[in-house]
């Protein structure tokens, strides 16, 4: 297989050169072009024919969102990784980009020492993600996609909660990373306002991004989502998102079950980490845990799923065909830990089926 051909689009000359030089040092990558704005990038596409585009969000003439919109019209399957500022404006724009079809994103370090920090991001995050995304694209091109079952209306949307044929579920825990925000949106579109148990989720994101993610889930779907807060008591139908740079766990305090945040060392190079949340849920809820592992790079969630399986809980994961990167769910599936491996479009209804109706039951 030849080198991965990359087009770098950024209006900052220094940063454009920095990214290009670092990528070019890797024997598997080739920078086939650079552009200072989206308009120039679109003009270069047919000439350089990239396998993947790295796209800045804030640029003159044509910004990242406008460029991404045009790229998706012309090249709907082309992987696009966004570079965004670690600001509230940058976080909001990043979520907009993901909703428009960006494959993933990375944040530009700012302030003193930003050059060294940028090099670290490029070497330890961007380059591995480029390779993982491209490997996923290649795998999908050579693997026959799973045929999805015909879509039917969710029982909960019809006002009918199924009688569960599964062990009683007391909490749903979700882990996701690359491609996760869009996958979460699809899953949450199937969950009703009277969802009968709490939902706890880890999406690999920095601070501020996780708060905005929670706000968007609340605004666009029927459940209330918010960032985790130490000491918060769990109630049915509430969604708690692990804050960026904090692990989130559940603890039992007498008759109450509460959240606890901490900043112990990262696991799987992640904080928050899925494994940390999943292990705590297995310890507190045992067989009452339903774990869901969505698209993401790496294997965060594997050890946590082992703990959930040992405790008698249930595990469902997203399939390879609908995952942006089949890392996290793939590790769980290949380890034989998943009860079911399903297309993204069927996961929400599967959660509803497995939880069943227990409205009004507090988590004690």
Active site residues: 177, 204, 300
Task: With both helix axes pointing from N to C terminus, report the angle between 180-188 and 344-355 in degrees, rounded to the nearest 10.
Answer: 50
Reading the block at residue 161, the tokens are: 């909660």
Residue pair 339/315 in contact by the 8 Å Cβ criterion? yes
Residue pair 316/340 in contact by the 8 Å Cβ criterion? yes
Give Cα separations from 83 to 35, 105, 156 (angstroms): 14, 6, 39
Exposed, middle or buried, 77 (CB in 10 Å: 0-12/13-18/19+)?
Answer: exposed
Phi, psi of 201, rounded to the nearest 5 degrees? -140, 150
Reading the block at residue 29, the tokens are: 């990558």
Reading the block at residue 137, the tokens are: 């694209």
Residue pair 5/20 in contact by the 8 Å Cβ criterion? no
Give Cα separations from 145 to 142, 197, 298, 316 (angstroms): 9, 33, 22, 19
CA 243, CA 260: separation in Å to the nearest integer? 11
- Strand 340-342 and strand 224-227: the pairing is unpaired
Q: What is the DSSP string of 106-158?
A: EEEP-STTHHHHHHHHIIIIIHHHHHHHHHHHHHHHHSPPPPPPPP---TTTT
Estimate to the nearest angstrom the gap between the alpha carbon of 87 and the chain centroid: 19
- Strand 52-56 and strand 4-9: the pairing is parallel
Q: What is the DSSP string of 295-329?
A: SBSS-TTHHHHHHHHHTT-EEEEE-TTT-SSBSHH
CA 186, CA 194: separation in Å to the nearest integer? 18
**Among 246, 184, 242, 243, residue whose Cα is nearest residue 218:** 184
């Amino acid at each position: 297989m030849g080198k991965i051909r990359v087009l770098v689009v950024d209006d900052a000359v220094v940063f454009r050169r920095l990214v290009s030089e670092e990528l070019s040092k890797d024997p598997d990558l080739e920078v086939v072009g650079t552009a200072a704005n989206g308009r120039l990038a679109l003009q270069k596409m047919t000439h350089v024919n990239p396998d993947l585009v790295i796209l800045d969000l804030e640029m003159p003439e044509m910004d990242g969102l406008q460029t991404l919109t045009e790229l998706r019209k012309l090249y709907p399957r082309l992987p696009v990784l966004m570079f965004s500022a670690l600001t509230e404006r940058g976080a909001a724009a990043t979520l907009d980009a993901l909703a428009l079809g960006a494959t993933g994103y990375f944040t530009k370090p700012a302030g003193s020492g930003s050059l060294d920090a940028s090099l670290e991001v490029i070497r330890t995050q961007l380059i591995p993600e480029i390779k993982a995304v491209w490997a996923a694209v290649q795998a999908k091109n050579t693997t026959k996609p799973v045929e999805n079952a015909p879509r039917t209306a969710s029982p909960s949307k019809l006002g009918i909660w199924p009688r569960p044929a599964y062990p009683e579920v007391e909490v749903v825990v979700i882990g996701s990373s690359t491609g996760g925000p869009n996958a979460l949106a699809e899953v949450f579109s199937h969950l009703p306002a009277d969802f009968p148990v709490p939902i706890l989720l880890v999406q690999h994101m920095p601070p501020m991004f996780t708060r905005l993610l929670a706000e968007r889930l609340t605004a666009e779907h029927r459940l209330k989502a918010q960032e985790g807060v130490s000491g918060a008591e769990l109630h049915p139908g509430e969604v708690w998102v692990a804050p960026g740079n904090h692990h989130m766990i559940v603890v039992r305090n007498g008759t109450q079950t509460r959240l606890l945040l901490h900043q112990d060392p990262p696991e799987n190079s992640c904080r928050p980490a899925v494994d940390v949340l999943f292990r705590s849920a297995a310890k507190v809820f045992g067989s009452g845990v339903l774990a869901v592992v969505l698209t993401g790079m790496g294997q965060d969630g594997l050890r946590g799923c082992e703990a959930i399986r040992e405790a008698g809980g249930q595990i469902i994961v997203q399939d390879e065909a609908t995952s942006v990167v089949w890392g996290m769910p793939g590790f769980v599936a290949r380890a034989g830990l998943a009860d079911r491996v399903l297309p993204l479009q069927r996961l929400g209804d599967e959660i509803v089926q497995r939880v069943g109706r227990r409205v009004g039951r507090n988590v004690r």
